[in-house]
Amino acid sequence: MALDHALVGVMSEPVERSWDSTAAILYALGVGAGADDPTAELEFTTENTAGVEQQVLPTFGVLAAAARTGRRLGDFDPARLVHAEQSLELHAPLPVAATAQVTSQVTGIHDKGKGALVTSENVAAVDGTPLVTTRSAVFIRGEGGFGGERGPSDEWRRPDGAPDEQVRYRTRPDQALIYRLSGDRNPLHADPAFAARGGFARPILHGLCTYGFTGRALLHALCGSDPKRFGAMSGRFSAPVLPGQELVVSLWRDPDGPDDALFQTSTADGTVVIDRGRFRLR
């Protein structure tokens, strides 16, 4: 069996997903919170600072809506799978601790020639009320050519002119080792031999770690650091990041939509690592 196309459109049974204060803090540390100034983001990195109420970084919603359903996409070498796209929509601010019911479905398997693009949607609900919706895509090399449709195209284009704002964060050399403690134990991000099978000289940073760094930049630059104002973000992973590299998040505010912005994330040498970024305030 290659890819299981019968999965498309089939909703999973609800799966329970729980998190607590410690999980929220560990995630924040995994995406660099407090690294530049340990006192700057205490609401995300501590739970017992006087006068500071703990809050949850909005991009933690991707983990809150992640759950193992027991369904396999098919038989293929997992080293050939890379995270291609990710979107996040928050219906309410994330609680510090909760138990959610997560449902998921594969929404499409698209033929990209040299590989297949598999898209999916997850919804996490608490007490029957949707909390967060995530949509993602993975690219699986070598699984294309089955004669399917290529899927929809995205008309996103980089705005002319300089960004309205840029935010710079440097990742740690051990960033992937910290981030993996939030649950993604893919050896691509820790095991040199496994990374070599995927064509990488050494383990790379999790795409969702780069996504979390980017979400922090959007939160502080566009939301006044208030998670309640963070509505949605989406982007396409276009190149890998190596732990220790600097990330540069470029933001363009939309003059026709004051609550919207476009963004790109690049490394210091200008390589774009998250492309076609969109952000929406609540």
Q: How far apart are CA 102 and CA 20, in angstroms?
A: 16
The whole-number average pLDDT for the span 191-207 is 93
Alpha helix stretches (DSSP H) within 59-184: 61-64, 175-179
Supply the mean pLDDT for the chain.
Answer: 93
pLDDT classification of 62: cutoffs 50, 70, 90: very high
pLDDT reported for residue 258: 63
pLDDT classification of 155: cutoffs 50, 70, 90: confident
Under CATH, domain 5-281 is a member of which superfamily?
Answer: Hotdog Thioesterase (3.10.129.10)
Please give the C-alpha separations between residue 281 and each of 41, 223, 254, in angstroms, as whole numbers. 20, 7, 12
Q: 241 Cβ partners below 8 Å, 6+ apart?
A: 171, 204, 205, 209, 210, 247, 267, 273
pLDDT reported for residue 240: 95
Question: Is the per-residue pLDDT at 1 higher than 70?
Answer: no
The predicted model scores a pTM of 0.93
Question: Is the per-residue pLDDT at 259 higher than 80?
Answer: no
Active site residues: 184, 189
DSSP H or E segment with residue 214? helix 207-222
pLDDT reported for residue 198: 80
The whole-number average pLDDT for the span 231-249 is 97
Condensed to tens digits (0 to 9), the pLDDT of residues 97-113 reads 999 999 999 999 999 99
Q: Count CA atoms closer than 13 A to 207's CA, side-chain side.
A: 23
Question: Is the per-residue pLDDT at 207 higher than 90?
Answer: yes
